[in-house]
Amino acid sequence: ITSKLPEVGTTIFTTMSKMALDYKAINLGQGFPDFNTDEKLQALVSKAMADGFNQYPAMAGVPILREVIHQKVKNLYGRSYDIDTEITVTSGATQAIMAAVLASVGAGDEVLVLEPCYDCYLPAIRLAGAKAITVPMVSPTSKNPHFSIDWNRVQASITSHTRLLIINSPHNPTGAVLTESDLDALEQVVNDTQIMILSDEVYEHIIFDGVSHLSLSSRPTLAERAFVISSFGKTTHTTGWKIGYCCAPKNMTTELRKVHQFMVFTVPSVLQYGLAAYTADSSTYLALPAFYQRKRDHLATGLAQTRFKVLPSPGTFFMLADYSAISDSTESDFAIWLTQNHGVTVIPVSAFYESPTAPSSNHHIVRFCFAKKDTTLDQAIERLTKI
Ligand code: PMP
Ligand code: GLN
């Protein structure tokens, strides 16, 4: 067989989680909670199963879940997506992203991606036959400790072939969040173009310090050209269930669903019914910022006692830390060394670049996941203070 993705190996998340198991390390690498989801949600899913919701649900998702998504997006961001034609429930955000990319671009098209970026974007673009054009984010400096977007560079990367721009806020792996002025700049960039946007908002409810998430669905000029994608995995501590969704205008949803129906057709019914009943109560997701901010601060306080230098994390359940006071090795070598010699697993940020081994992809920064029990965080901190 001739590989369609010759440059792709096993994902960094799987690789590092396996290494964590092999070395009995504390896994602060792959992003998933090590605590259980709410018992209320477990009971709702069991009830759906007992009630007999065990056959194919509607292709676009069970209507009651689409209704709940509709209400949530309307209440939070002010846009009223049509349940029948504009909301699709998917197998996690990953499948929504793949379906959106396959549906919207092909040979001869260019897709702009900001680096560092989540790992599934570039392979999706290549499978679609399109070309990924990566635009580096501005790296943190002592003056501005956040990764940020240089919109002039984005503008300068647009050609007559640009069909899609992928953005992600809150951003994995950097934690950066888009501001109103970013959205203003994005509006300027796409104004008078045919460019579509894929907005990955899976961490929409994990945002800190009193800041509100700015969804693309809140801006009509952006929403009318955007696939807005989210995931219940992050919001309900159920990354293993793989239930996500995509909100997009009718013409874009029509094309997305053509791909969706032949990729998976639909996704598990009992999980959809359970999530619908659970998410109808907004207090479930409105509690997330405080819940995770406490964990963020817990880990940051702990890391302050080590030789890692923490970078601020405005959103997501990830935190970056600079290790240059400990080592000058590459991020990948450092992550392996840390697992093997000190029993804590992290993710090298260079893995989120098209060329992970390039010197420009290595900033001596690694990513810690703080979606963990306090006891897990404490054990990791104890090990890290010894380095
Ligand atoms: N986008 C980003 C930025 C992510 O971090 C993740 C997974 N953690 C996904 C998409 C995929 O989400 P899901 O597990 O729902 O497929
Ligand atoms: N999104 C998760 C992370 O960033 C990983 C998901 C996966 O393993 N595919 O860690």
Residues 317 and 252 placed together within one structural domain of the fold:
no
Residues 268 and 302 placed together within one structural domain of the fold:
no
Domain contains 6: no
- The residue from 280, 308, 335 where one domain ends is 280
Best CA proximity match to 228, nearest among 118, 60, 77: 77
Task: Find out whether the beta carbon of 157 lies less than 6 Å from any atom of ligand 2.
Answer: no
Separation CA 151–CA 186 (nearest Å): 7
Domain contains 251: yes
Q: Are the C-beta atoms of residues 313 and 176 closer than 8 Å to each other?
A: no
Q: If 0-12 CB within 10 Å is exposed, 13-18 middle and 19+ buried, where does residue 67 land?
A: middle
Centroid of ligand 1 to alpha carbon of 192 (angstroms): 31
Residues 230 and 119 placed together within one structural domain of the fold:
yes
Best CA proximity match to 35, nearest among 372, 381, 386, 378: 372
Residue nearest to atom 7 of ligand 2 (CA): 13
Structure tokens belonging to residue 79: 């846009």
Residues 225 and 332 placed together within one structural domain of the fold:
no
Task: Find out whether the beta carbon of 15 lies less than 6 Å from any atom of ligand 2.
Answer: no
Structure tokens belonging to residue 193: 């173009």
Best CA proximity match to 309, nearest among 319, 318, 317, 296: 319
User: Looking at the DSSP assignment, which residues form a beta bridge with residue 262?
Assistant: none
- The residue from 249, 264, 280 where one domain ends is 280
Residues 275 and 294 placed together within one structural domain of the fold:
no
Centroid of ligand 2 to alpha carbon of 63 (angstroms): 28
Centroid of ligand 1 to alpha carbon of 325 (angstroms): 31
Domain contains 305: yes
Residues 71 and 116 placed together within one structural domain of the fold:
yes
Best CA proximity match to 308, nearest among 382, 365, 352: 365
What backbone torsions phi and psi does residue 29 show, to the nearest 5 degrees? -90, -95
What SS3 state is found at 78?
Answer: coil
Residues 270 and 292 placed together within one structural domain of the fold:
no
Domain contains 211: yes
Structure tokens belonging to residue 66: 């689409």
- At 302-361, the pLDDT tens digits run 999 999 999 999 999 999 999 999 999 999 999 999 999 999 999 999 999 999 999 989
Tell me which residue range forms the domain holding 96.
Answer: 40-280
Task: Find out whether the beta carbon of 339 lies less than 6 Å from any atom of ligand 2.
Answer: no
Separation CA 242–CA 197 (nearest Å): 23
- At 372-385, the pLDDT tens digits run 999 999 999 999 99
Residues 128 and 214 placed together within one structural domain of the fold:
yes
Separation CA 16–CA 20 (nearest Å): 6
Separation CA 216–CA 228 (nearest Å): 7
Domain contains 35: no
> Which element (helix H / strand E) includes 285?
helix 283-286
Best CA proximity match to 240, nearest among 45, 76, 5: 45
Task: Find out whether the beta carbon of 91 lies less than 6 Å from any atom of ligand 1.
Answer: no
- Domain with residue 155: its CATH number is 3.40.640.10
Residue 157: predicted pLDDT: 98
Identify which of 90, 118, 122, 237 to mutate to test ligand 1's pocket (most ligand atoms within 8 A of the CB).
118
Domain contains 336: yes
> Which element (helix H / strand E) includes 186?
helix 180-190
**Positions of the chain with pLDDT under 70:** none
- At 115-151, the pLDDT tens digits run 999 999 999 999 999 999 999 999 988 888 889 999 9
Residue nearest to atom 9 of ligand 2 (CA): 13
- Domain with residue 369: its CATH number is 3.90.1150.10
Task: Find out whether the beta carbon of 172 lies less than 6 Å from any atom of ligand 1.
Answer: yes
**Which atom of ligand 2 sits closest to the CA of residue 31?**
10
Residues 276 and 306 placed together within one structural domain of the fold:
no
**Which atom of ligand 1 sits closest to the CA of residue 118?**
3
Residues 273 and 310 placed together within one structural domain of the fold:
no
Q: Which ligand is nearest to the Cα of residue 15, counting in written order?
A: 2
Average model confidence (pLDDT) across the chain: 97
Which contacts of 68-71 are long-range, i.e. CB under 8 A and separated by 24 or more positions? Answer: 68/275, 68/276, 68/279, 68/280, 69/245, 69/247, 69/279, 71/280
Separation CA 107–CA 118 (nearest Å): 22
Domain contains 5: no
Residues 243 and 317 placed together within one structural domain of the fold:
no
- The residue from 280, 300, 324 where one domain ends is 280
Centroid of ligand 2 to alpha carbon of 188 (angstroms): 32
Residues 17 and 103 placed together within one structural domain of the fold:
no
What SS3 state is found at 63?
Answer: helix
Centroid of ligand 2 to alpha carbon of 159 (angstroms): 31
Domain contains 352: yes
Domain count, the chain: 2
Question: Would you give the DSSP letter of residue 359?
Answer: G
Q: What ipTM goes with this model?
A: 0.98
